[in-house]
Amino acid sequence: MRVFPAFALVLGPLSATASDNSLITQFCRTAVKAELQRAVTVPPEGMVADTCRCFLLEVQNGAGIQTAQATCKAKAAEAYGL
């Protein structure tokens, strides 16, 4: 019986983190797509997902939002030739 409360405590934060990451990724995808539309650029296949994955990893590793954005924009521009 004591295993279940401990198990629930372990799953609780993981679910919240996964949910937060999903929300951050959704906002990122929306922002990247909007910026590309303003630039009248059609994103190559996989670019939006790769850029947002990069952004999430950068933030998780301690980068600030602006730094993560700049880093991932530069990586995407290089990787996708934009």
Checking if the pLDDT of 73 tops 70, the result is yes
Q: Specify the 3-state DSSP secondary structure of 54.
A: helix
Nearest by Cα to 36 from 75, 78, 79, 73: 73
Domain boundaries, given as residue ranges, for the chain: 3-80
The overall average pLDDT reported for the chain is 81
Q: Say what the pLDDT of residue 31 is.
A: 94
Q: What is the pLDDT of residue 82?
A: 80
| pLDDT higher than 60, residue 47 | yes
pTM reported for the whole predicted model: 0.73
Residue 6 Cα distances to 2, 22, 59, 64, angstroms: 7, 25, 29, 33
52 close to 23: Cβ distance less than 8 angstroms: no
Q: Can you spell out the DSSP letters for 14-28?
A: HHHHHHHHHHHHHHH
